[in-house]
C-alpha cells in the first residue's frame, strides 16, 4: 500500500450518462476511502470547477461528453494534475466512433464496414442491405443506438440518432457473440461474454436488472479467447489509449473478432464489466481502483498551475 493520497473523484457531469457516472464515481470513492485515502467527490460543469490545493490526483469516473471526449483531460493537463485514464487526443479519438474506426483500419484492426452521415434527412445508404446499426458517433453507453431491420424504419431511426449528435455512424450489422476485453496496464484481462436475454445489448438491456447475463471468463476455446484479447489490445493501442480501457468485440460464427469500439473511461460500478474482468483475474475492486490511481501518479506530469479561485 502506498502512502495515503488526497484524491478527487470526478463523476456526474453534463452528459446523457450522468446517472451511470454518478454510480461509478460513488463506488470508486468508497473503495478509495476503504484504502485509507482522503477522497473528495466533484460533479464538474464545464468551466465551473476547481480542485482543492492539496489534490494529489484525479480519478475520472465521468462518461460521455465532457468526460470521455478529451475536454476535461485537456483542462487537467493544463493544470498539471495527474488523472486516471487516457490523454486528451486518445480520449477524443476513441470517443468519436468514426475517428476510432479510421485508426482501426490504418492499424489492421478488424472492424465492421461503416459510413458516416451528417444529414438527418439522408436517404438509405446505396449498396447497403438491412439490417444495419445506427448510432451517434460521439456518445457512449449505447445511447441512441438502434438496429434497423427494414428500410421503412430508417427515417425514424436516423432522426432519433441525430438527437444525440451531429454525426451519425451507420454500421454493417455483424451477427455473433458479444464480448468485451479489459486492458489494464499492458495486459489483457479475461474476456467477458454478454448475453442479453432478449434482443441486443442496447441501453435498456445494459441497465435493466436481470435483462442480461454475463460470463467471465467467457466460455471460449483458448484460441478464440486469445484472438479477442489480441484484437482488443490492438484497438487500445490504435487509438493511443493508455493505462486502461474496455474494448467491445463481436465474435463471428467462424471465429473472427470484429472490434466495435474502445471505451477509455468504462463503467466502474462494482458490477460493471471491467471490474468483473479484473475480479476474474484475481484483482479486487479496491485493488483495481488503486492500480488505476497508481498508474496516474507514476506518469510524468507537467508543472502544476494554480487554479483561479474566482
- The tens place of each residue's pLDDT in the chain, 310 residues long, gives 578 999 999 999 998 889 999 999 999 999 999 999 999 999 999 888 999 999 999 999 999 889 999 999 999 999 999 999 999 999 999 999 999 999 999 999 999 999 999 999 999 998 899 999 999 999 875 778 889 999 999 999 999 999 999 999 999 999 999 999 999 998 999 999 998 776 655 555 555 566 689 999 999 999 999 999 999 999 999 999 999 999 999 999 999 999 999 999 999 987 899 999 999 999 999 999 999 999 999 988 666 776 754 3
Sorted by sequence, the CB contacts under 8 Å of residue 75 that are 6+ apart come out as: none
| C-alpha distances out from residue 213 to 60, 179, 294, Å | 27, 12, 32
CB 89 within 8 A of CB 100: no
Tell me the whole-structure pTM to 2 decimals: 0.91
Helix (H), strand (E) at residue 160: helix 154-161
Q: How far apart are CA 174 and CA 187, in angstroms?
A: 27
Where in the sequence numbering do the catalytic residues fall? 17, 141, 207, 246, 248, 261, 263, 267
Q: What is residue 142's predicted lDDT score, i.e. its pLDDT?
A: 73
**95, three cell numbers:** 470517443
Please give the domain boundaries of the chain with CATH numbers for all domains. 6-84+291-297 (3.40.50.20), 92-110+175-264 (3.30.470.20), 114-172 (3.30.1490.20)
Q: How far apart are CA 184 and CA 130, in angstroms?
A: 37
Amino acid at each position: 500500500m502506498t502512502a495515503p493520497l488526497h484524491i478527487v473523484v470526478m463523476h456526474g457531469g453534463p452528459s446523457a450518462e450522468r446517472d451511470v457516472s454518478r454510480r461509478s464515481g460513488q463506488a470508486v470513492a468508497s473503495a478509495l476511502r476503504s484504502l485509507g485515502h482522503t477522497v473528495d467527490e466533484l460533479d464538474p460543469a464545464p468551466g465551473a470547477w476547481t480542485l482543492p490545493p492539496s489534490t494529489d490526483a484525479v480519478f475520472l469516473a465521468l462518461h460521455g461528453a465532457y468526460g470521455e471526449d478529451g475536454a476535461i483531460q485537456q483542462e487537467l493537463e493544463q493544470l498539471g494534475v495527474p488523472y486516471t485514464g487516457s490523454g486528451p487526443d486518445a480520449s477524443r479519438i476513441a470517443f468519436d466512433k468514426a475517428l476510432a474506426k479510421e485508426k482501426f483500419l490504418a492499424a489492421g484492426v478488424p472492424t465492421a464496414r461503416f459510413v458516416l452521415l451528417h444529414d438527418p434527412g439522408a436517404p438509405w445508404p446505396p449498396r447497403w442491405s438491412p439490417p444495419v446499426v445506427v448510432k451517434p458517433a460521439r456518445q457512449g453507453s449505447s445511447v441512441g443506438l438502434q438496429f434497423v431491420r427494414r428500410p421503412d424504419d430508417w427515417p425514424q431511426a436516423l432522426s432519433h440518432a441525430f438527437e444525440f449528435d451531429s454525426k451519425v455512424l451507420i454500421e454493417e450489422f455483424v451477427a455473433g457473440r458479444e464480448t468485451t476485453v479489459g486492458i489494464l496496464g499492458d495486459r489483457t484481462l479475461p474476456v467477458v461474454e454478454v448475453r442479453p436475454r432478449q434482443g441486443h445489448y442496447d441501453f435498456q438491456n445494459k441497465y435493466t436488472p436481470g435483462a442480461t447475463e454475463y460470463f467471465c471468463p467467457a466460455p471460449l476455446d483458448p484460441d478464440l479467447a486469445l484472438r479477442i484479447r489480441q484484437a482488443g489490445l490492438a484497438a487500445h493501442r490504435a487509438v493511443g489509449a493508455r493505462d486502461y480501457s474496455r474494448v467491445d468485440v463481436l465474435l463471428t460464427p467462424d471465429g473472427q473478432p470484429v472490434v466495435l469500439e474502445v471505451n477509455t473511461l468504462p463503467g466502474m460500478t462494482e458490477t460493471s464489466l471491467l471490474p468483473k474482468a479484473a475480479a476474474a483475474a484475481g484483482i479486487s475492486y479496491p485493488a483495481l481502483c488503486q492500480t488505476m490511481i497508481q498508474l496516474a501518479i507514476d506518469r510524468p506530469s507537467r508543472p502544476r498551475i494554480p487554479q483561479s479561485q474566482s
